Structure 1
């Protein structure tokens, strides 16, 4: 399985070279085969006898961070979507993107995103999953901002990155807590310790942190605001990221951790409410939009909300409906994004107010849009896959009493009503999209380009996706027992593969709900102009986007003020902040953890000569404070260093004494050389408050270092490593001088890198001297 991740990463390194021949062969042709190969490899796992597959490759075993890949029904579904839709998107992009574009950049970003998504869904190690998770955030930022010369593209890219990375960091916190509680980094091992997690006092924090990661990635209310702005990306990006892959990463995260969290009542409450509110708000706001991709963006938000709600319900029917709709949504929404791109490509606009009557000019595109929009609307036609999963959604919303505790019982009656409300507006925006573009009065004179049908190459990908819509609609059980059943079982832990049929009878509650949606939805479509003014009331002037803009602007202002406060060019302030912060944090941590352990037993006798040396050093240290001349301060400071050398001699460490003497001599000489070229020392006139702050910081830092030194000698938390060095210095290093063996052999690599740093610094100084001499000669 590791090849599925490594292959895209390897090709990403080669794309810049392949893109140089784009004037002869489109770069996308080389890239197309990568997701296709991955798809063909993983499709072999589909079957009734499928069982999970695990592979492990060591990375950082000391921290239990390895490439643990785990393929079960859930990850198989997402791998096939990522690779299958990926191949179709690349094929579509070959005809959508002109060779004059920066194709090398585009396909590097796209293939990196694909590798990141594959890594997320295949990883069993939480920290490896997080690594790939952030790779998707970074690569999607680059894809959304691909047309970086456009201000709105840059805005959308930054917005998506800030929101999703905020969620990613929160998710990382949840992963850390889980690993601490269970003492493992494996998700499957965590599932086996489910009872330990559910009984942990950190469970509420874990739930909130993980759900923040899921909600921000899958554009759940109120974090959905990044998705409409991400539509500034090229249409192939929208079709890939925002229909089938990135936005479903949050759904995958919730599904993956459902075996652990589903029995926690707050999981049901938070996920169900967030999902159903997102469904209603997204579908309601989609009808307000005039840009085709904006309509599809809000429709995606609503569909993601519906799937999230079903994962929150947690029943077997709801989980199966969720995974079924994940598949269905990828097919019809991917095709609709491509249709929107075709309309934009062939007419020059995505503004639905300028479009209309395109059925005559673009009959194939209109046919594809018909199947996509009617499937998205859940219209009860037997050849549309969206209807089946929508029916199961209604059915699951009526069966909540299986999983609801007494505290959340109020949701039993509310959720079915909201499900119907959201679905009514889903029907409305679907009809609005199709009939607003392809029916009505022709407006070709308002269009920047004369409309015409797209080339077959651009139509091929949406044709394949619409073909899947129809095939799944006609034969829904084709993907049931051999595929979707394994996915649902990986989430709920129970085998469940119902026989899906189109007709259940007139009295079936779910079918009655579908009829209500169609009837009321049709009335709203026909009277849309009469009630469209309701958007002036709700949302009216309220806007989460404005809230986001204010927060970001204020953060810029306040961070600038904070930065200007401490980055003012004052070395004194820098040192004060560093020392003060270090003292406060260290003191606080040591006191809270009982780190200060002070004892005076087991100490050697102190002789008068040692007392004399220390007194001289103390007097010299104090004298540096009151010195009024540079040279005097340096010489007095040197007395402290030479005093340390004398102490080393007294304690029978001649090698350390020699080292200290050399270092001190060189340091004093360098100080004298440097200060010779500096202005004379001037005594600053400081206020009493400034002197008090200086004194407090100095005493606090000195006291901290003194207490740490005493505590380090007194405490006995770990076995001393000195015995190891004494026993092994001759055997491993071939020497009896333990200090030399440590420096030369046991810290050999460390010493080598230190020398390397010094060598680089020397070369840099040499280069600067040459440049200066060259300028002087000129």
Structure 2
């Protein structure tokens, strides 16, 4: 049932085991095992050809985030099957080729195949996904995996540069595409592509329809290297040749083509879609072919030729959109030719361009260079490679009898017909389409001849090569030979694909014509009579031959163009300007002053919240329904305000800490007055631990000195402080004085006993009703404790290393030793630091021996009683930690280590594991994550007793809080 899902997931799963394969089977080339994955997937997709040919699609859905309409829906029709076959078929040939191209003794091939499998799975995810968000997820995953593949030789500057450029451009396009998907969802209420097509008539006139189209096209153009976003593709040629053959000829760059084809049923009826797609495509085709002629590197030439060919295919899909606009009728048949040509050339390009990239890799591998100025005369020493190169290059040039000739003829025919179209008013500008198609095709012919004859004809130049040229091993030749045979086979027998794959793909791209009764009968033949397209082909070959023979006379025109005015320079300039601007902006506010950072944060909060209150007319003091204020509350409030105001005026840090603690303890009394024992207990313990933590932190700081500050400094502080107080006061009043929704307090009161099995409503909420919040909170606490631990450890190691250097430089005067490999100092100063908790108070030490056990007993009571009485795992963990802190204060940290010889980071990990295991365990009972249950059981000695799974979750909270608190306290207390 989920075979199609498995086809996407298998490459990802296999990628996990790729590094293990190399270690487990060191004598076997990893590529031989990896080869099985694309081969089996290709065979699996071949099974669907009869199904798709019978106009039957396959669709299977798995819920992912159903509340947001995001489901992992796999949809297989002619279009997705065509791309799936290209991804897996070309992928298998590339893996086979790479086995002989990459040397396992010199290359990290396990990384190569790991990235390649991730990329293959991501591409399959793109072409098989019906949900736009899932498609976007895989879309960006291809950008990330291609970044890793392009930067495979990361020690090279150009590899890193090319990888970064490709990712920046394609990821930015992906963000634009995501925005387009969200706009479509806002109009339709669905992320499904098929459901969007079904409600197309309801959204075509909406104001967001055109912006959504433009944003989606931006994603397609960046991915498929359309002008002016083409600049990333030539730099991506720094990747190993197997990567170029796979990503940049057959798969990744075709993702944008796929996106245009897939969304054609939605947007193709718009004139803007036709103009943008067709114009960008034909401009890219011309621009890429013209720049390809000037290249002197084989892969650079192929890169620009790929840009040109992608533009050709894109222009055909744009021209084919006219068929959707016209609808059923004789006129529409003219423009279905464009769609048929686009699909056919898509296949042909994958075959001849994949073969040419492999040929370029063979030439580089066997001669040590790709520079056309140093190559030549290889035809005699590399006859098989020459044959494959000739067949593939002639197909790219559009010379019969190869497959490229057939699709190029269809392309020229579509461009000629496009100039006659009246629906989009092309009477004047329409003539430019066949003219640009002709010009681009002439230059395509020229660079194809350069590729073959400059490499394989002419005199051999052995002194300019990096080695003695010879034919490649048969293993490296198999893949390009197979692709070369496809070039010839599809040229001689093109209708092999007509009914099996081209027709089903056309039905997927043009479903509106199918719905109107249109039936596609694809028949491709060599001879159509003396047509404008045929005459254009003769002219292309003739003019192209002349231009190639006279290449030296006119190629110098390229040098006349100012190199400063290039798109690459524009890209580099934007990056440099962005870095300078961001650095300048950052330096304005990142001045190293914590005071300044707090001012920025508080001012932003005041402005944001204050503006909202003003616009919402929420600045009102409503006292209706407020409870009367008692004399006790007034006294506490006066004491609280007085204590808080005294903190900034404290002369010593110890005084400031005591005042801060007093503020917290007075808040605790408020909770007592308001009859909130759980909050009061938690606040009291948190305040106790916080005061201890402050004391430890400030112990390491120098004596507090009051510096003379300006009046402006004081005024700014007063304004910000008062502003924060006023804003937060209004927030509190607004929160308590108004309510948009009905209170849920009644639900918790009524459900805590019946649904949660507990009478302590607060604890039931924390561990059951809102257990997910608690889980995230303890996770954040654990991360924070590890961060503090790491920072202190780095500081300790840095200090020890510095002391060691100082000792080595001053042996004669050094009075103590420092061991870099250990974390202790053998001096009296360090002994004092190790025992900084030491109190020398006999009364405190004696009383602590008794009080600690009382506190620990109370902590256990709080934990077990928490479900029905005040308490719980959180406050129980804090109470246990406070007992251990008291023990450390009375004696020293080593005493705590000896009594409880545990690693508190491990305690934190165990607590998190228990909490998460409790949540996952609900899956085994077909219940949602973190579902809790309870029951009453007859237990020996205890009788009828309530047992709740929430207790296990609370145990996880208890251990996590204990581990986090003690990790921080002991690490700061033992900071050396």
Fold conserved (TM > 0.5)? Answer: yes
Provide the C-alpha distance between the structure 2 equivalents of 1:343 and 1:372, rounded to a whole number of angstroms. 15
2:521 paired with 1:497: yes
Provide the C-alpha distance between the structure 2 equivalents of 1:612 and 1:246, rounded to a whole number of angstroms. 71
Aligned position for 2:362 = 342
Aligned position for 1:466 = 484
Structure 1 residue 677 displacement after superposition: 4.5
Identify if the C-alpha distance between structure 1 residues 384 and 691 changes in structure 2 by more than 3 Å, giving closer, same or farther.
Answer: farther
Identify if the C-alpha distance between structure 1 residues 216 and 613 changes in structure 2 by more than 3 Å, giving closer, same or farther.
Answer: same
Structure 1 residue 420 displacement after superposition: 1.1
State the SS of the aligned residue for 2:373. Answer: coil
Structure 1 residue 586 displacement after superposition: 4.2
Aligned position for 1:272 = 278
Aligned position for 2:290 = 284
Q: TM-score, normalised by structure 1?
A: 0.93
2:668 paired with 1:645: yes
The correspondence for 2:439, drawn from 401, 421, 427, is 421
State the SS of the aligned residue for 2:491. Answer: helix
Provide the C-alpha distance between the structure 1 equivalents of 2:357 and 2:420, rounded to a whole number of angstroms. 37
558-567 or 180-189, which moves further after superposition?
Answer: 558-567
> What are the within-5 Å matches in structure 2 for residues 239-318 of structure 1?
239-313=245-319, 314-315=321-322, 316-318=336-338
State whether residues 596 and 708 of structure 1, in contact with CA within 8 Å, keep that contact through their aligned partners in structure 2. no
2:108 paired with 1:121: no
The correspondence for 1:78, drawn from 75, 83, 92, is 83
State whether residues 420 and 427 of structure 2, in contact with CA within 8 Å, keep that contact through their aligned partners in structure 1. no
22-31 or 126-135, which moves further after superposition?
Answer: 22-31
The correspondence for 1:96, drawn from 98, 101, 104, is 101
Provide the C-alpha distance between the structure 2 equivalents of 1:473 and 1:342, rounded to a whole number of angstroms. 25
Aligned position for 2:575 = 552
State whether residues 271 and 424 of structure 2, in contact with CA within 8 Å, keep that contact through their aligned partners in structure 1. no
Provide the C-alpha distance between the structure 1 equivalents of 2:75 and 2:111, rounded to a whole number of angstroms. 31
Aligned position for 2:704 = 681
Provide the C-alpha distance between the structure 1 equivalents of 2:70 and 2:148, rounded to a whole number of angstroms. 28
Provide the C-alpha distance between the structure 2 equivalents of 1:122 and 1:351, rounded to a whole number of angstroms. 40
> What are the within-5 Å matches in structure 2 for residues 530-541 of structure 1?
530-538=553-561, 540-541=563-564
Aligned position for 2:178 = 172
State whether residues 597 and 714 of structure 1, in contact with CA within 8 Å, keep that contact through their aligned partners in structure 2. no
2:56 paired with 1:51: yes
The correspondence for 2:416, drawn from 398, 423, 441, is 398
Provide the C-alpha distance between the structure 2 equivalents of 1:760 and 1:230, rounded to a whole number of angstroms. 38
2:118 paired with 1:112: yes
Provide the C-alpha distance between the structure 2 equivalents of 1:502 and 1:592, rounded to a whole number of angstroms. 72
Aligned position for 1:369 = 389
Provide the C-alpha distance between the structure 2 equivalents of 1:178 and 1:704, rounded to a whole number of angstroms. 39
Structure 1 gaps, min length 5 = none
Structure 1 residue 419 displacement after superposition: 1.2
Provide the C-alpha distance between the structure 1 equivalents of 2:621 and 2:338, rounded to a whole number of angstroms. 61
Aligned position for 2:603 = 580
Provide the C-alpha distance between the structure 1 equivalents of 2:486 and 2:616, rounded to a whole number of angstroms. 61
2:61 paired with 1:37: no
Identify if the C-alpha distance between structure 1 residues 6 and 531 changes in structure 2 by more than 3 Å, giving closer, same or farther.
Answer: same
Aligned position for 1:233 = 239
Provide the C-alpha distance between the structure 2 equivalents of 1:734 and 1:464, rounded to a whole number of angstroms. 69
State the SS of the aligned residue for 1:775. Answer: coil
Structure 1 residue 321 displacement after superposition: 1.4
State the SS of the aligned residue for 2:47. Answer: helix
State whether residues 55 and 68 of structure 1, in contact with CA within 8 Å, keep that contact through their aligned partners in structure 2. yes
Structure 1 residue 609 displacement after superposition: 4.3
Structure 1 residue 39 displacement after superposition: 0.4
Identify if the C-alpha distance between structure 1 residues 583 and 469 changes in structure 2 by more than 3 Å, giving closer, same or farther.
Answer: farther
Provide the C-alpha distance between the structure 1 equivalents of 2:345 and 2:456, rounded to a whole number of angstroms. 26
Identify if the C-alpha distance between structure 1 residues 59 and 522 changes in structure 2 by more than 3 Å, giving closer, same or farther.
Answer: same
Aligned position for 1:713 = 736
2:533 paired with 1:510: yes
268-277 or 592-601, which moves further after superposition?
Answer: 592-601
Structure 2 gaps, min length 5 = 323-335, 515-519, 801-821, 828-976
Instruction: Give per-residue Cα distances to partners, 1:370-399, cap 9 Å, x unaligned.
Output: 1111111112x1x31111211221222233
Provide the C-alpha distance between the structure 1 equivalents of 2:426 and 2:611, rounded to a whole number of angstroms. 42
State whether residues 269 and 408 of structure 1, in contact with CA within 8 Å, keep that contact through their aligned partners in structure 2. no
State whether residues 419 and 426 of structure 2, in contact with CA within 8 Å, keep that contact through their aligned partners in structure 1. no
Structure 1 residue 671 displacement after superposition: 3.2
Provide the C-alpha distance between the structure 1 equivalents of 2:610 and 2:86, rounded to a whole number of angstroms. 53
> What are the within-5 Å matches in structure 2 for residues 153-192 of structure 1?
153-192=159-198
State whether residues 597 and 715 of structure 1, in contact with CA within 8 Å, keep that contact through their aligned partners in structure 2. no
2:69 paired with 1:64: yes
State the SS of the aligned residue for 1:398. Answer: helix
Aligned position for 1:27 = 30
Aligned position for 1:11 = 14
2:194 paired with 1:145: no
Instruction: Give per-residue Cα distances to partners, 1:108-128, cap 9 Å, x unaligned.
Output: 111111111111111111111
Identify if the C-alpha distance between structure 1 residues 231 and 140 changes in structure 2 by more than 3 Å, giving closer, same or farther.
Answer: same
Identify if the C-alpha distance between structure 1 residues 480 and 621 changes in structure 2 by more than 3 Å, giving closer, same or farther.
Answer: same
State whether residues 55 and 70 of structure 1, in contact with CA within 8 Å, keep that contact through their aligned partners in structure 2. yes
Aligned position for 2:380 = 360
309-318 or 713-722, which moves further after superposition?
Answer: 713-722
Structure 1 residue 557 displacement after superposition: 2.9
Aligned position for 2:848 = none
Structure 1 residue 181 displacement after superposition: 2.4
Number of residue pairs the alignment of both structures matches: 775
> What are the within-5 Å matches in structure 2 for residues 584-663 of structure 1?
584-588=607-611, 599-663=622-686
State whether residues 424 and 520 of structure 1, in contact with CA within 8 Å, keep that contact through their aligned partners in structure 2. yes
Provide the C-alpha distance between the structure 1 equivalents of 2:573 and 2:626, rounded to a whole number of angstroms. 62
Identify if the C-alpha distance between structure 1 residues 659 and 444 changes in structure 2 by more than 3 Å, giving closer, same or farther.
Answer: closer
Aligned position for 2:949 = none
Identify if the C-alpha distance between structure 1 residues 497 and 749 changes in structure 2 by more than 3 Å, giving closer, same or farther.
Answer: same
State whether residues 310 and 396 of structure 1, in contact with CA within 8 Å, keep that contact through their aligned partners in structure 2. yes
Identify if the C-alpha distance between structure 1 residues 181 and 616 changes in structure 2 by more than 3 Å, giving closer, same or farther.
Answer: farther
330-339 or 606-615, which moves further after superposition?
Answer: 606-615
Identify if the C-alpha distance between structure 1 residues 485 and 411 changes in structure 2 by more than 3 Å, giving closer, same or farther.
Answer: farther
Aligned position for 2:824 = 775
The correspondence for 1:561, drawn from 571, 577, 584, is 584
Identify if the C-alpha distance between structure 1 residues 588 and 442 changes in structure 2 by more than 3 Å, giving closer, same or farther.
Answer: farther
State the SS of the aligned residue for 1:59. Answer: strand
Instruction: Give per-residue Cα distances to partners, 1:274-298, cap 9 Å, x unaligned.
Output: 1111111100000000000010000
Q: TM-score, normalised by structure 2?
A: 0.75
Return the structure number with greater relative CO, CA threshold 8 A, min gap 6.
1
Instruction: Give per-residue Cα distances to partners, 1:562-614, cap 9 Å, x unaligned.
Output: 44444443221222233233344444566667887874433333445434433
State whether residues 119 and 132 of structure 1, in contact with CA within 8 Å, keep that contact through their aligned partners in structure 2. yes
State the SS of the aligned residue for 1:486. Answer: helix
Aligned position for 1:456 = 474
592-601 or 53-62, which moves further after superposition?
Answer: 592-601
Instruction: Give per-residue Cα distances to partners, 1:637-682, cap 9 Å, x unaligned.
Output: 3443334333333333233233333333443454345445533433
* RMSD across aligned positions (CA): 2.7
Q: Larger Cα Rg: Structure 1 or Structure 2?
A: 2
Provide the C-alpha distance between the structure 1 equivalents of 2:176 and 2:476, rounded to a whole number of angstroms. 40
Provide the C-alpha distance between the structure 1 equivalents of 2:696 and 2:560, rounded to a whole number of angstroms. 75
Identify if the C-alpha distance between structure 1 residues 567 and 764 changes in structure 2 by more than 3 Å, giving closer, same or farther.
Answer: closer
624-633 or 531-540, which moves further after superposition?
Answer: 624-633
